[in-house]
Chain A
Amino acid sequence: MIELRNLSRHYGATRVLDGVSLTLEPGRFTALLGPSGCGKSTLLRLVAGLDRPSTGQILFDGRDVAQESPSERNVAMVFQAYALYPHLTVAQNIALPLAMRRLGRLGRSPLGALSPAVRRTRATLARDVRAVAELLEIVPLLARKPAQLSGGQQQRVALARALVRDPSVFLLDEPLSNLDARLRIQMRAELVALHRRTGHTFLYVTHDQAEAMAMAERIAVMLDGRIAQVGSPRALYERPATCDVAGFIGAHPINLIPGPPEGGLPPALASGQPAPERPLVVGLRPEHLTPAADGPVQGRLDRVAFQGDVQVLGLRLEADGTPLRATAPPDWPAPDAGSAVRLGYRPEHLHLFDAAHGTRIANPGEESSCA
């Protein structure tokens, strides 16, 4: 188990991490999700041991590892640009971490071949390299140099190099961001399968919420150097803790509509349900706002984007012109731009946030419980 306790990191006056606490349970796939510049890569480097926290503790199974090097912590890491050694073959790239761990200075030198013990170690090493290469289906590439590989193949080699030893934690820094869209979707599934097969603790950094939602068992959303919310993909989607988290999660950006200053729901949305009498911001996801003949929301259609499985509608509220996103099934007969459209939603899909702090207010329709 890996525990981060109140970690802060600043460079001069710039505070990159501000009191981050997070627990990584063994064998779980945790995603660290946040926009670029939120400090998620810095946090990953702290866990890896490539950087030291300004304050706070990092515990691996209860042991404070603050002063330990990455190899003493036995972390494995996959980098965004793969960081394969260009002058070594794929097999040498994968074998290097094992060789550093298992062979002494003499064993790594050409003279090592004279010692039977070293020869035995080298043979098991070659076997381990081959086993991990088979796992990732890169056996035919073992003799090549990284420059002769495609992006997807380099990605697999980087994974193999990280997996070949038995790491305490497997750190991935946006490993899919350099792949094309189709390969990315494929590698998502492979990474999840790899996680299941190896049972290692994964910490996966990404700025892509779809990636985090699709792969992770737990997501920690990071905003401005703080952890904004930790939870399952479903919990983040259904019960975002703040406006900002709600804005970050979801394939279609959520509608955030301010209510009237005296409190209650915005009149244009309201369909008579009760609401707290204090200033609110109301969140309503486009996928929950759909055309309905008798719906309470009156909008005027700006544009329709057909996406195959769904049509995304851009509208303005009839009452005050507030822009709004909604969705319709693909077979919905879209009227011309400028037409009036009535939309409906289910009250339990409304997210209520405090207008001043952006924190979630329990919807009258749900159990009030603060996690």
Chain B
Amino acid sequence: MRAPRLLSFALLLIGAAVVLLPFYWMVSLSFKAPDEIFTPTLDLWPNALRWQNYAAALSRTNLLLYLWNGTVVCAGILVFQLLFAVPCAYALAQRRFRGRTLVFGLILAGLLVPFHVTAIPLFLGLARFGLIDTYAALIVPFIASVFGMFLFRQAFAVMPAALFDAARVDGLSEFQIVWRIAFPLALPAATAFGIFSVVAHWNDLFWPLIATTSPDLATPPRGILYFRDRESGDDVGPLMAAAVLVVAPMVVGFLMAQRAFIRGIAAGGLKG
């Protein structure tokens, strides 16, 4: 009993170290002076906590604007994704209508199509509407999420139908049932979906590179790119500081969402 437990702990620790080491290295470098970074020896710990790299990262580029852009784009995408995916998933899971199986099949098929396949048609479409190089170009392509529909549909499908019948008897309309009953009960699924969505679009470099050119619309990853190419060259310290600032909201957000996630599961304890 004890030995397998120790072994699994050891394996978990090794796994955690492998995953965390690059992050640790990034944080460590962000505090180091240039001469400390390029040494033949490997110093895991900086000599002193130096904040100059952070000051440089924030002053030399418009990093705060990039973070703001990332927030607007991710929030816009998530809000619209929920607005469309949740009612759609409810209809697929709890309503009977002609063609329901077909629609669900199409959604499953949509899950298989990589985004990159649709990138060029999307670009052409946005260009036709004159939306290239706007916030809309960064948000609109993602507002209908087949992944979200699938995830919420699975969550709604296991909810007892009697719950929704009870709501109908209590006088709720179908939309009120979606937002007042079904959605709060799917909060764990919503949290998971929120994490997936925000992380994916916060870190996305591919689409912002295609859809926008203006530096004022740069999202954080594109911002880092600017930073490195034009302003600071091989100045690794400020680059790492910028990377830390870009990653930090995701890490903090994830840790907070993780608590809500567990609370959501505990509170939503449905019988049956």
Please give the residue numbers on chain A whose beta carbons come within 8 Å of chain B beta carbons, in ascending order: 45, 48-50, 69-71, 75-77, 79-81, 83-87, 96-97, 100-101, 145, 147, 161
Contact = CB atoms under 8 A, between A and B. Distances in A.
A145 B270 CA distance: 11
Contacts of A147: 267, 269, 271
Contact of B267 (A50, A80, A87): A87
B255 to A, nearest CB: 24
Contacts of B169: 48, 50, 70-71, 75-77, 97
B268 A87 contact: yes
B163 A50 contact: no
Interface in B49-76: none
B165 A50 contact: yes
A96 B168 CA distance: 11
Contact of A87 (B166, B167, B184): B184
A80 B272 CA distance: 12
Nearest to B264: A87
B170 A161 contact: yes
Contact of A86 (B167, B168, B185): B185
Closest 10 CB pairs of A and B: A71-B171, A100-B171, A83-B166, A97-B170, A83-B162, A70-B169, A79-B162, A87-B184, A147-B269, A77-B169
Contact of B163 (A48, A69, A85, A100): A85
A100 B170 contact: yes
Contacts, number: 64
A85 B270 CA distance: 9
Contacts of B184: 87
B181 interface: yes
B247 interface: no
B26 interface: no
B168 A83 contact: no
Interface residues of B, number: 22
Contacts of B244: none
Given A81-B160, A81-B162, A85-B181, A50 B270 contact: no
Contacts of A96: 170, 172
A346 B260 CA distance: 71
A83 B163 contact: yes
Given A85-B181, A86-B268, A147-B269, A71 B168 contact: yes
27 contacts: A45-B165, A48-B169, A70-B168, A70-B171, A71-B168, A75-B169, A77-B165, A77-B166, A79-B162, A79-B165, A81-B162, A81-B271, A81-B272, A83-B160, A83-B166, A85-B163, A85-B167, A86-B267, A86-B268, A87-B184, A87-B185, A87-B187, A87-B268, A96-B170, A96-B172, A97-B171, A100-B176
Contacts of B172: 96, 100
A86 B269 contact: yes
Contacts of A80: 162
A101 B168 contact: no
Specify which of B176, B267, B271 lies most central, judged by the most chain A CB atoms within 10 Å of its CB.
Answer: B271
Interface in B172-193: 172, 176, 181, 184-185, 187
B167 to A, nearest CB: 8
Contacts of A77: 165-166, 169
Contacts of A45: 165
